[in-house]
Homo-oligomer: A and B are copies of this chain.
């Protein structure tokens, strides 16, 4: 249960690599992919989607590449994971009231909410900066 997909794993590795670069330096997708040991074209898709939401910045043409969209301590692991996997939802009924017609009386519902809360708390508590530093 609850497995991170490859996409999520790759995303994290890629963004940590970016965080380990000297600030302002741009990295080629080929460079990131190699360092993070991730399929290049797949990672490209991931970083492109990150660029759209501002998590990273991208530059085209010669001398282009990717950089973090903001400083590494302002990016949490949760953001990265959710950007790629969608919101942390142990069960569908957490999406909104009425998703499950039983949610009013259901005793399990609050348990899922608690699980969600705990996971979010952990993932929100760790920044990419921390992760980048730990690895060095």
Contacts and interface: CB of A to CB of B under 8 A. Distances in A.
A135 interface: yes
A77 B111 contact: yes
A101 to B, nearest CB: 9
Contacts of A85: 1
A87 interface: yes
A56 interface: no
A118 to B, nearest CB: 4
Given A122-B114, A123-B115, A3 B107 contact: no
Contact of A108 (B37, B77, B121): B77
Nearest to A106: B135
Interface of A: 1-4, 8-9, 12, 16, 37, 77, 81-82, 85-92, 102, 105-108, 111-112, 114-115, 118-119, 121-123, 126, 130-135
Given A2-B88, A2-B90, 13 more contacts: A1-B2, A1-B82, A2-B2, A3-B91, A3-B92, A9-B91, A77-B108, A107-B132, A107-B134, A111-B131, A115-B118, A115-B123, A118-B121
